[in-house]
Structure 1
Amino acid sequence: MTLYFTVNTIIEFSCLLVACLCLYKEKDPIWRLSILYLLFTCFTEVSAIHLRKVLHQSNLYLYNVFLLVECGFISTFFYFLYKKYVNKSKWLIGWLSLFALFYTLELISNNFLNFTFKTASALSVAFVLASLYFYYLILKDEKFERLSIYPPFWWVNGTLIFYFGSTSTNIFFDYLIQDQISIFPQSIRYRIFNILNVLLYCCWSYAFLCKYLQRKSSSSSV
């Protein structure tokens, strides 16, 4: 069983637990959807470990499927965050259509055998830009928000850190994929993504906690 306990799985299951405790009574559907997304994330991670280390099979197709869910969830979450400031439904439809096109073309060019690396890299860049645009909307908004306890701000913080780090790492993919330091069993790239995962899910967990406290404060004031 210890085989399945990695940095990634531990932080993902921890974030899932926080989401379940904080969001199960949440009225906002997009925040509740986080529970299902994190559940699917944990399932994917554990299944990928089982395929690679137990069955000694490729798990790339599993991550290709996960990329679709990842794009759909993160994009939709951003859309609902934007709705408070602007209505960009056409942007969401256009972006998802463009993503589906590139994803399908890369799958075909890879003969459905490899991970859609280029599409994943483009996805990271898109989410970095989406995060920066959200910051711009906050700055333009006349309503004051205490950012230290503002759930969307911390959700976007985690998303920006992860996908900015992913973009930077992918630029140097050929170098980082190698085991440059012999005392470590994994590549530098793998360790960087461990750190990025921890930062992402810590920020998301804090966002879920802020959302819970916000809901409790609203209900007590009624």
Structure 2
Amino acid sequence: MTFVTVNTVSEFLCFLAAIFFLYGEKVTAWKLFIPFLLLTCAVEIGGIYIREYMRIYNYPIYNVYLLFECGFTSYFFYYLYKPYHYKALWLLSWLGVFAAMYVGELFYNNFGRFTSHTATVMSVVFVLASLYFYYLKLKDEHFEPLLFSAPFWWVSGTLFFYFGSTVCNIFSDYLAEHERIRSVRYIIFNILDIIMYIFWSYAFLCRYRQRKSSPSLG
């Protein structure tokens, strides 16, 4: 079936994991994973439908999704940084820079292409944000076993995906000229998707176990 791909299956399984492990979650940052992953699944299915059945370019739907992807991921990093006295001004500044790049690229492309350069910058920022989280954890005097740390596994999955996608996006023009290498790029993105959603699903499990062991967390 056209709609059954590595991307759609991995996204849907992660969405099911979010429903199962995060149902009843009281912390907004974690609770938002359920609607965000539902949106991700819907966009992926919609993108396939537009491309395969309507036979038109599907970049508009991914351009819109990029806004939600950036907003949600940035907010979740903000949530992870809050215990370390991270200022909301940093988050707002980044979102302002992102919005300026996004709108500028849309007009530059005359709304006729995917905002790939903005997506690449966003990926680089999320890679740096992930590394900065590791740095904060190393300096943190509060001990937490990483094997059962929900934030650690979410950040690890995020780092894998955005680092790999950044490399692929940087060389996208070169890869586009070689059909055989393009197929390799497709495989790489599938692998990155699988790794990220496995790590995210395990993060949801860790969060579930944390809530059960400490009911005050919600």
1:156 is aligned to 2:152: no
Asked whether the 8 Å contact 1:147–1:153 carries over to 2, the reply is yes
Deviations 1:128-160 (A, max 9, x none): 000011001101110001000000000000000
In 2, Cα distance between the equivalents of 1:137 and 1:175?
Answer: 36
Give the fraction of aligned pairs with identical amino acids, expressed as a percent.
57
Deviations 1:33-69 (A, max 9, x none): 0011100000000000000001111100110001000
In 2, Cα distance between the equivalents of 1:42 and 1:139?
Answer: 35
Q: How does 1:138-157 map to 2 (within 5 A)?
A: 138-157=137-156
2:20 paired residue number = 21
Asked whether the 8 Å contact 1:44–1:66 carries over to 2, the reply is yes
Find the residue that maps to 1:118 and give its secondary structure. helix
Gaps of 5+ in 1: none
1:193 is aligned to 2:201: no
1:125 paired residue number = 124
1:179 is aligned to 2:192: no
The runs of at least 4 consecutive aligned structure 1 residues that moved more than 2 Å come to 174-178
Letter in 2 for 1:135: Y
In 2, Cα distance between the equivalents of 1:207 and 1:116?
Answer: 30
In 1, Cα distance between the equivalents of 2:179 and 2:94?
Answer: 36
In 2, Cα distance between the equivalents of 1:88 and 1:189?
Answer: 37
Deviations 1:160-197 (A, max 9, x none): 0000001111122123333216xxxx622211111111
Letter in 2 for 1:195: I
Find the residue that maps to 2:180 and give its secondary structure. coil
In 2, Cα distance between the equivalents of 1:107 and 1:117?
Answer: 10
Letter in 2 for 1:166: S
TM-score for the superposition, normalised by structure 1: 0.94
Asked whether the 8 Å contact 1:155–1:204 carries over to 2, the reply is yes
2:167 paired residue number = 168
1:84 is aligned to 2:83: yes
In 2, Cα distance between the equivalents of 1:4 and 1:11?
Answer: 12
Letter in 2 for 1:188: V
Gaps of 5+ in 2: none
In 1, Cα distance between the equivalents of 2:128 and 2:120?
Answer: 13
